[in-house]
Amino acid sequence: MSISATSGVVSNLEYQSLITQLVGLRRQSLTRLESDKSLLNSTKSAYSTLNDKIKGLVSAADALRSTTAFNSYKTSTGDSPFFTASAGPAASAGTHEITVVSLARAHKVAADGVDSDTAVISSGSGSFSFQAAGGEVQTISLDPTTTLAGLRDSINALKAGVTATVVNDGSAENPYRLILTSDTTGAAGAVNITQNDTTLAFSTTLQPAQDAALTVDGLSVTRATNSISDLIPGVTLSLKAADPGTTATLSVERDTEEAAEKVKALVDAYNELVSYIKSNNRYDSETKKAGPFFGDSVARSVWEDLRKAFGSAISGLPDDMNRLMHVGVKTGEDGLLTFDSSMLSSAIAEDHEAVLNLFAKGEVSGFGELIHSLASGINDVVDGRIKNRQDGIDKNIKRIEEDIRRKEDQLATYEEQLRAQFMALEGMLVSLKSQGATLLNYLGGGGSF
């Protein structure tokens, strides 16, 4: 008699259902392991995100630990159309009266016209040589096939400080003219033609080589370019137009807005990091689920150490300028920081050096250096707290994966044992039923043993 793999023919028992239930009972421990693995993976992912946020804090702190952190300046030229200005860390606050007398210009000469840009401009072999801004003499070989466009292209291919163009000036006859323009502005940037075996005559000066001329606080100066960075220390002037009869005022002052942006970036980076830790350090009583940092001492220690650092005083600095609260950074009831930029601006105006010392690394390490060092240590790729925590999580995940594989094998073996036991039981029942039938037949027939 055949035996079904799912139910007993003789016993009518649903073996597969029983096997599934029995295996399911033993699978509960495996399910718990898989749940533990999932939680560990969530925690590892949360730490990766936390690490990124700490990197943001490192970057924000780095912008404040330099001695030039608050040496930003801004310029104002009113509505002057004559020049614009920018200032760097080496600038000084002050005002300057500036008159742009003339702009620097590049030398530009034009040849007499020909009837087309394909017109041949050489009657035989020869050369065309030129010099730009006192540089080396450049020579182009000519032959009876050299055209106006061909000479243009040959000049430009040399990249020797002169740009050649062909222009149609609209004349009724011979409108195509070759124009040579120096790539260098100023009187010293003139184009000098030293050899001309073409049929062209360069008889027209379209624009003479000219230096920029200006007066600064009554002092007359000239420069070869319209971008001047060696006149007022730390300031670059970009000349746009000239008017000898008009004077404009340039104001240079400390850029407290840029300083505030740097401090705000530090505050924002801290708040983002702390908010992330807080949101993942909760237990939801309704869902019965804990956040990945709930009960995790490492995440908590990161928060605590940063909180203490931001609330500390810098040893060696005056009592009225040794804490972040002195420049408008305070801790709210929710544990996050607030920032009043007006307090920073006032502090910079009153004592710039004191504010700089509060953040930068000088004789003592200010908050920029302090936070940068602390945050860098937390996410150190070799021995940082987060790296060590993630390594520990990886070890636990690996151990659980090994346990899962072992239990999977055990469950597979257990299922096969159950199936074999039920099949053996069915076989025994079949045998007993057969023996019972034989006995009944014997007794019914009056036989004897």
Q: Is 312 helix (H, G, I), strand (E, B) or coil?
A: coil
d(CA 271, CA 159): 54
Percent of the chain topping pLDDT 90: 63
- Using CA atoms, how far residue 26 sits from 92, 398, 421, in Å, is 79, 22, 17
Neighbouring C-beta atoms of residue 29, cutoff 10 Å: 13
CB within 8 A of 104, min separation 6: which ones? Answer: 185, 186, 210, 211, 212, 223, 224, 225, 226, 239
The residue count for the chain: 449
Query: What DSSP element (H or E) covers 149?
Result: helix 148-158
Q: Are strands 94-102 and 289-290 parallel, antiparallel or unpaired?
A: unpaired
* Tokens 């909760």 -> residue: 282
Tens-digit pLDDT profile for residues 201-233:
999 999 999 999 999 999 999 999 999 999 999
Domains of the chain (ranges plus CATH)? 29-68+257-390 (no CATH), 73-103+212-254 (no CATH), 106-207 (2.60.40)
Smallest Cα–Cα separation from 347: which of 381, 380, 323? 323
CB within 8 A of 414, min separation 6: which ones? Answer: 22, 23, 26
Output b/e per residue, 331-354; b: 16+ Cβ within 10 A.
eeeeeebebebebbbebbeeebeb
First vs last Cα of the chain: how many Å apart? 27
Alpha helices in 280-384 (DSSP H): 297-310, 341-350, 352-359, 367-378
**Segments of the chain scoring below 50 in pLDDT:** 1-5, 9-10, 449
pTM: 0.68
Contact 40, 395 (CB under 8 A): no
Reading the block at residue 60, the tokens are 């924000």
